[in-house]
Structure 1
Amino acid sequence: MSTQNLPLTGVKVLDLSTLLPGPLATLMLAEAGADVVKLERPGRGDEMRTYEPKFGEASANYAVLNRGKSAYAVDFKDPAQRDRVLELAAEADVVMEQFRPGVADRLGLGYGAMKSINPRIVYCSITGYGPTGDRASRAGHDLNYLAESGLLGVVTDNNGSPTLPVSVLADIAAGTYPAVVNILLALRQAERSGEGNHIQVSMAHNVQVLGYGYFATHQASGQWPRPGAEQLTGGSPRYRIYPTADRRNIACAALEQKFWDRLVSLVGLDAKFHDDAGQEQAVIAALESVFAAKPASYWRDVLDGEDVCTVVVATWDEAVAAGLVDIDGPDRVVQPGDPSRSFSTMASPIDPALRRTGKSVPYPTLAPLPDVSPWS
């Protein structure tokens, strides 16, 4: 499939967002063919341009999130430059913004101002806590949204304390992805009705999707999950992390009986612990002893090729070698009949040759906004 035939070819996106949730969303639109114009503050631009590590003068994080876009410097507080932004909005199909609630309106760049000149505009606002309420104007980051939603406390360490999540879950799962899905739905609606929409994405509220099982449990029993004590949070021997003799780890997810039966047989667990019902802590202790007796390489040989949903926790190098992390990724374009590719694989964020030399990275340089349309 050529880039001319990607599903969002011809769609114009005006990106006023910074850092991660909005830029990742517009990257996904760009990878599906959209033409993204990113507007940043004059001088240093998006804060992520300053992030480490760098390739030469380029921020690798910024490069990953903003490849394939055009970037221009705009002072949103300058009336003349604001009016220039409105001219671009008149041409755009989608606008992405990530200001605190009310800021875009005060700048004259809110949904009302843009809708008045472009009724078909799909305007997406990503905020931490939504457009209204006591927390609406509060500053926050991913960890704050997870903490206040209750999710951060469901998995705890031996001291009963929560641990840092493996990634920025709220930013991506509760910010980026809801934004992309709803933008696509709104574009479809605009095609059919001629009317755009204002999409409000609250990261703190959307993380509840990640806790669907906890809400289901509460609705059925009236009880909330016990920290570190439920089936998927550490209470079951079938779903846990077990240390090995060489300080590596085993990720066990043998929930179904057939996987559990095969696992305990393979690792040689004492038969009295095969039935874990009612003796979960004893079985956990027994499995800890079994896995701790041998190094990770031994367990990889035992577990590979077996249907037990239990694996060695990989290093990044091991994940790359296994083909599960694609850092070279020669082709991000979907090929007909190829189910292994999607429009936003995030593969090959940086050219391998540039990564090896460390000289520079192709990302949008910050240029003055031209008098002519960057989409023309």
Structure 2
Amino acid sequence: MNTLQPLSGVRVLDLSTLLPGPLATLLLAESGADVVKIERPGQGDEMRTYRPTLGEASANYAVLNRGKRAYAADLKNPAERDRVLELAAEADVVVEQFRPGVVDRLGLGYEHVRAVNPGVIYCSITGYGQHGPHVKRAAHDLNYLAETGLLGVVVDGAGNPPLPPTVLADIAAGTYPAVMNILLALRQRDATGKGCHLDIAMTRNLQLLTYGYFATHQGGGGWPIPGSELLTGGSPRYQVYATSDGRHVAVAALEQKFWERLAELLQLPEQYLDERGQESTVITAIADRIGARTADHWRKVFEGEDVCSVVVATFEEAVAAGLVDIDSGDRLTGEGFDVGTLPSPVDSDLRRPPGRLGYPALDPLPDGPVWPGR
């Protein structure tokens, strides 16, 4: 088996914390890159303090930072800052997610690094980008979803937008665009020898997730009405219905053949097959039928049927069904925790063992070489 990974030999200096940047550099590490993570002395990355813990560090930190090496450096100390700049001079990729202007004041901004490393791929991940009226504002995932209009397109019965099930902006608009652009920039550097500064703005990248709303608007259909569009609650074909035992069924029978078969299984009256103009009535009719039976009943009814309708699973059920994978390989920390529990979307033959994860204190930045010579 060929164990040479696509990014073998690529050096990544990770100045980021929490989720978007560390998850991006994890995917690079899983692809073979040598990732060195710089954290503040003492506490280190704030995610080390999250619970549950593995000794003095958190499970979240261990999962997101496996396969990396972490060192402490006080970036406000000129001597330690200069040592980090020396690492940046040898790196192929630098990833940071400070607010715009912070790394420049520290002396580690793109221009500082480019001066000693013209071919560097320098990736900045922020909420609002490097320029514009919002760059100095503090915000989190929920704020980005709210401000871009995405959060408000789905509402409950009282007209309130629900909390999203995961951090969509951080991952879909931060991590993945960062990884994609880093890979493209490395390919471009192979051809031209030139590095670049990547400006990954999560609010801007969220617009990709709203493609249908903007396409409809551009086509003259207006802006979406909260809770009333095809995929946001306006159609009986795309709904979540409660069962009699407090569980739920997710129906996504959009295509006509799926919809007609679902109607047969539910014994839906024929006049409801064409739901146009009577969507609320049909939604109520389906809700009554699904609500009269348990989740287990509907699981058996839908088994083997092409109706795009399933019981909403718990995580335990999803794992038992094999739809969610918990990697139980040999990547364990000293405390016996499986840091491979987050499967990588990277298709790689070789899984690197974890680096120094979960320790109560960071190792000091060594005086000698961190990366071996090329």
TM (norm. structure 2) is 0.92
Which amino acid in the other structure matches residue 366 of structure 1? L
2:83 alignment partner in structure 1? 84
Mapped contact 2:56–2:358 kept (Cα < 8 A):
no
Would the alpha carbon gap of residues 350 and 324 (structure 1) be closer, same or farther in structure 2, given more than 3 Å must change? Answer: farther
2:221 paired with 1:225: no
- CA drift of 1:271 comes to 2.0
Deviations 1:24-72 (CA, angstroms, capped at 9, x unpaired): 0000000000000000001100000001111332201111110100000
The aligned runs of 1:209-224 (5 Å cut-off) are 209-221=208-220, 223-224=222-223
State the Cα RMSD in Å: 2.0
**Deviates further, 268-277 or 241-250:** 268-277
Query: Aligned equivalents of 2:293 and 2:324: distance in 1?
Result: 27
1:56 alignment partner in structure 2? 55
Which amino acid in the other structure matches residue 67 of structure 2? G
- CA drift of 1:206 comes to 0.9
Structure 2 segments unaligned to the other structure (5+ residues): 332-342
The aligned runs of 1:243-258 (5 Å cut-off) are 243-258=242-257
Query: Aligned equivalents of 2:131 and 2:137: distance in 1?
Result: 11
Deviations 1:73-95 (CA, angstroms, capped at 9, x unpaired): 00101111111111111110000
1:336 alignment partner in structure 2? none
The aligned runs of 1:190-205 (5 Å cut-off) are 190-205=189-204
**Deviates further, 361-370 or 98-107:** 361-370
- CA drift of 1:270 comes to 2.0
- CA drift of 1:342 comes to 4.2
Would the alpha carbon gap of residues 250 and 362 (structure 1) be closer, same or farther in structure 2, given more than 3 Å must change? Answer: same
- CA drift of 1:10 comes to 0.6
1:98 alignment partner in structure 2? 97
1:371 alignment partner in structure 2? 367
Mapped contact 1:51–1:61 kept (Cα < 8 A):
yes
The structure showing larger relative contact order (alpha-carbon pairs under 8 Å, at least 6 residues apart) is 2
2:339 alignment partner in structure 1? none
1:110 alignment partner in structure 2? 109
The aligned runs of 1:240-319 (5 Å cut-off) are 240-319=239-318
Query: Aligned equivalents of 1:109 and 1:40: distance in 2?
Result: 14
Query: Aligned equivalents of 2:121 and 2:357: distance in 1?
Result: 29
Deviations 1:172-211 (CA, angstroms, capped at 9, x unpaired): 0000000000000000111111110100001111101110
Mapped contact 2:48–2:61 kept (Cα < 8 A):
yes
Mapped contact 2:30–2:352 kept (Cα < 8 A):
no
Query: Aligned equivalents of 1:341 and 1:368: distance in 2?
Result: 29
**Deviates further, 146-155 or 259-268:** 259-268
2:148 alignment partner in structure 1? 149
- Partner SS for 2:166: coil
Deviations 1:327-353 (CA, angstroms, capped at 9, x unpaired): 134389xxxxxxx984169xx9999xx
2:162 alignment partner in structure 1? 163
- Partner SS for 1:13: strand
2:34 alignment partner in structure 1? 35
1:337 alignment partner in structure 2? none
1:343 alignment partner in structure 2? 346
Would the alpha carbon gap of residues 62 and 83 (structure 1) be closer, same or farther in structure 2, given more than 3 Å must change? Answer: same
Mapped contact 1:253–1:309 kept (Cα < 8 A):
yes
**Deviates further, 63-72 or 53-62:** 53-62
Would the alpha carbon gap of residues 219 and 16 (structure 1) be closer, same or farther in structure 2, given more than 3 Å must change? Answer: same
- CA drift of 1:125 comes to 0.1
Query: Aligned equivalents of 2:15 and 2:89: distance in 1?
Result: 15
1:354 alignment partner in structure 2? none
Would the alpha carbon gap of residues 124 and 218 (structure 1) be closer, same or farther in structure 2, given more than 3 Å must change? Answer: same
Deviations 1:139-163 (CA, angstroms, capped at 9, x unpaired): 0100000000000000000011100
**Deviates further, 35-44 or 275-284:** 275-284
Alignment: residue pair count:
357
- Partner SS for 1:317: helix
Structure 1 segments unaligned to the other structure (5+ residues): 333-339, 352-360
- Partner SS for 1:245: coil
The aligned runs of 1:169-188 (5 Å cut-off) are 169-188=168-187
Would the alpha carbon gap of residues 328 and 168 (structure 1) be closer, same or farther in structure 2, given more than 3 Å must change? Answer: same
- Partner SS for 1:221: coil
Mapped contact 1:68–1:363 kept (Cα < 8 A):
no
Mapped contact 2:239–2:252 kept (Cα < 8 A):
yes
- CA drift of 1:373 comes to 2.0
- Partner SS for 1:229: coil
1:15 alignment partner in structure 2? 14
Would the alpha carbon gap of residues 363 and 251 (structure 1) be closer, same or farther in structure 2, given more than 3 Å must change? Answer: same
Query: Aligned equivalents of 2:231 and 2:153: distance in 1?
Result: 9
Query: Aligned equivalents of 1:349 and 1:308: distance in 2?
Result: 41
Would the alpha carbon gap of residues 362 and 305 (structure 1) be closer, same or farther in structure 2, given more than 3 Å must change? Answer: farther
Which amino acid in the other structure matches residue 182 of structure 1? N
1:237 alignment partner in structure 2? 236
Would the alpha carbon gap of residues 167 and 342 (structure 1) be closer, same or farther in structure 2, given more than 3 Å must change? Answer: closer
Query: Aligned equivalents of 1:94 and 1:26: distance in 2?
Result: 10
TM (norm. structure 1) is 0.91
- Partner SS for 2:219: helix
- Partner SS for 2:232: coil
